[in-house]
């Protein structure tokens, strides 16, 4: 059996702060039981997100030193542009400071009341940027994708039959674009197959609807295709990614994920007219089209990260390291979404805490307890993040109640992950002691970032 090791050496280290249970209890109280509001120095293992938390390579840091900070036409922009074009093949590359900025520009132009946007599953900022315009975001995940206990190769796929029914029902003039998210973050980091991407492209062509890809984790998705989909085993990850993007009319991406950078993103398009509109709005909101809210040094770091992310030795290690944590948890009986996705382990809060109903936010209960017991910071992906209210004020819960433990890239070692497993298993073994929570304050949009909670008696 092949032994998989980290395909890198550690050149610089950062100390982490150890805290006592009483210190963590106090920090959680001050944060109103919302781990987003806990100072990072009071977190031992930070699995809140894999976005912008990667460790950059020596070549990325070298790129930062040679960044061209010219306002217009900087050399670093063309390095960035070439790196994005090499992978996506898109005509127009528009840099932004992160993925949600690309979404804001795109949906500000195409959204509005009476408009509908389908996706396999919209993530939080995508949904928020659509709904902020008055448009509607609709999800069409395959049925197996909402069944955490069932193992399947491509649980992130879009339901093609329901997508076509949507196209007929909503009519072309009300559908500015169709999007698919790879990997499917809200659905457990599960991959989308190439065949599903082709099928979505075919439906979009049939109804003359532009097809966009949310490409935050395109390399991880490409690696899953190489390993799981027949006919791709002998293709490189880069070749698979290039085929994926060949079916698309546009791309949004947060470079804080699969570009291994701490900040950055882009909007890539083939439509000349739409690109002009997007660049005009970029100038107003982000900056000149050759820097788009980023310093030249960040453009260099993103460009180098896009080169490194398609390294198959790295991706083999990356996917296996997440599987390693998943294996330790499932062997102890901890219910998770199976099989593990590419960037995170998703705990199934419904099965973890069956005694806590959705309206008492079981995922938030687990998140708080993981921090209390081990200083581990995760995030709830369930009724806090995606719950809505009906006209009577009653909570409408999503199909799954999850806790995401997102693994930053090239940051933690195996001993860190072993510790995470120990804490999760300890919390699971004492799960009958967990209590529900209620929300005492919430913002109207993206409430999970700033909400305040009170523990129920």
**What DSSP line would sit under 308-367, residue for residue?**
HTT-HHHHHHHHHHHHHHHHHHHHTT--B-SS--SSEEEEEHHHH-TTS-GGG-HHHHHH
- Adjacency order of strands within the sheet including 344-348: 344-348, 402-406, 379-381
pLDDT of residue 444: 84
pLDDT at residue 5 tops 90: no
CB-CB contact of 452 with 34 (8 Å): yes
pLDDT of residue 102: 95
How many CA atoms lie within 13 Å of 183's alpha carbon, on the beta-carbon side? 26
Grouping H, G, I as helix, E, B as strand and the rest as coil, residue 36 is helix
Distance CA 189, CA 306 (A): 20
Tokens in use for 155?
A: 């649980």
Distance CA 348, CA 398 (A): 13
Which tops the pLDDT comparison, 30 or 185?
A: 30
Convert the pLDDT of each residue in 337-358 to its tens digit.
Answer: 999 999 999 999 999 999 999 9
**How does residue 396 score in pLDDT terms, banded at 50, 70 and 90?**
confident
Interval 190-202 mean pLDDT: 97
- Give, in order, the Cα–Cα distances in Å from 408 to each of 134, 376, 405: 34, 13, 10
Convert the pLDDT of each residue in 82-120 to its tens digit.
Answer: 999 999 999 999 999 999 999 999 999 999 999 999 999
Examine residue 339 and say whether the peptide bond preceding it is cis (omega within 30 degrees of 0).
yes
**CATH class (in words) of the domain with range 21-50+311-455:** alpha beta
Question: How would CATH label the architecture of 58-308?
Answer: 3-Layer(aba) Sandwich (3.40)
What is the bridge-based pairing of β-strands 136-139 and 116-119? parallel
Interval 185-211 mean pLDDT: 95
**Residue count (the chain):** 457
Nearest to 350 by CA among 382, 385, 394, 389: 382
Q: Give 370's contacts (C-beta < 8 A, 6+ positions apart).
A: 376, 377, 378, 403, 423, 424, 427
Domain ranges of the chain: 21-50+311-455, 58-308
pLDDT of residue 442: 87
Nearest to 321 by CA among 409, 241, 380, 236: 409
Which helix (H) or strand (E) segment is 426 a member of?
helix 414-429
Interval 19-40 mean pLDDT: 96
pLDDT at residue 1 tops 60: no
When the pLDDT of each residue in the chain is averaged and rounded to a whole number, the result is 94
Convert the pLDDT of each residue in 128-167 to its tens digit.
Answer: 999 999 999 999 999 999 899 999 999 999 999 999 999 9
Per-residue burial over 74-103, b = 16 or more CB atoms within 10 Å of its CB, e = otherwise: bebbebbbebbeebbbbebbbbbbbbbbbb
**How does residue 387 score in pLDDT terms, banded at 50, 70 and 90?**
confident
Query: Among residues of the chain, what percentage have pLDDT more than 90?
Result: 89
């Amino acid at each position: 059996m092949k032994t998989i090791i980290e395909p890198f050496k550690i050149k610089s280290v950062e100390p982490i702060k150890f805290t006592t249970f009483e210190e963590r209890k106090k920090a959680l109280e001050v944060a109103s039981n919302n781990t987003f509001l806990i100072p990072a120095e009071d977190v031992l293992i930070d699995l809140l997100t894999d976005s912008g938390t990667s460790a950059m390579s020596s070549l990325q840091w070298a790129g930062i030193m040679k960044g061209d900070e010219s306002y217009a036409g900087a050399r670093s922009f063309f390095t960035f542009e070439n790196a994005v074009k090499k992978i996506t093949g898109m005509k127009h590359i528009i840099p932004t400071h992160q993925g949600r900025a690309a979404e804001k520009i795109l949906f500000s132009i195409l959204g509005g009341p009476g408009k509908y946007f389908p996706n396999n599953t919209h993530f939080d900022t995508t949904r928020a940027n659509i709904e902020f315009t008055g448009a509607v975001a609709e999800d069409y995940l395959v049925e197996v994708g909402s069944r955490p206990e069932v193992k399947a190769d491509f649980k992130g796929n879009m339901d093609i039959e329901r997508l076509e029914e949507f196209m007929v029902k909503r009519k072309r003039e009300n559908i500015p674009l169709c999007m698919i998210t790879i990997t499917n973050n809200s659905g457990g980091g599960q991959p989308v197959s190439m065949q599903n991407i082709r099928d979505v492209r075919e439906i979009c062509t049939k109804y003359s609807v532009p097809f966009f890809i949310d490409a935050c984790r395109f390399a991880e998705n490409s690696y899953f295709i190489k390993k799981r989909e027949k006919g791709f085993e002998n293709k490189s990850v880069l070749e698979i990614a290039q085929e994926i993007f060949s079916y698309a009319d546009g791309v949004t991406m947060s470079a804080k994920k699969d570009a291994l950078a701490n900040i950055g993103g882009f909007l890539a398009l083939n439509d000349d007219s739409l690109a002009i509109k997007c660049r005009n709005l970029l100038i107003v909101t982000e900056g000149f089209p050759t820097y788009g809210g980023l310093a030249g040094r960040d453009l260099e770091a993103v460009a180098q990260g896009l080169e490194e992310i398609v390294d198959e030795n790295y991706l083999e290690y990356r996917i296996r390291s997440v599987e390693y944590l998943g294996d330790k948890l499932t062997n102890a009986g901890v219910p998770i979404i199976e099989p593990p996705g590419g960037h995170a382990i998703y705990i199934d809060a419904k099965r973890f805490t069956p005694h806590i109903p959705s309206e008492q936010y079981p995922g938030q209960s687990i998140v708080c307890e993981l921090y209390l017991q081990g200083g581990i910071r995760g995030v709830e992906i369930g009724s806090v993040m995606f719950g809505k209210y009906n006209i009577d004020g009653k909570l409408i819960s999503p199909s799954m109640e999850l806790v995401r433990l997102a693994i930053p890239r090239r940051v933690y070692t195996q001993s860190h992950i072993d510790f995470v497993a120990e804490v999760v298993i300890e919390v699971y073994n004492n799960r009958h002691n967990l209590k529900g929570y209620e929300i005492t304050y919430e913002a109207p949009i993206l409430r999970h970032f700033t909400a305040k909670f009170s523990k129920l008696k």
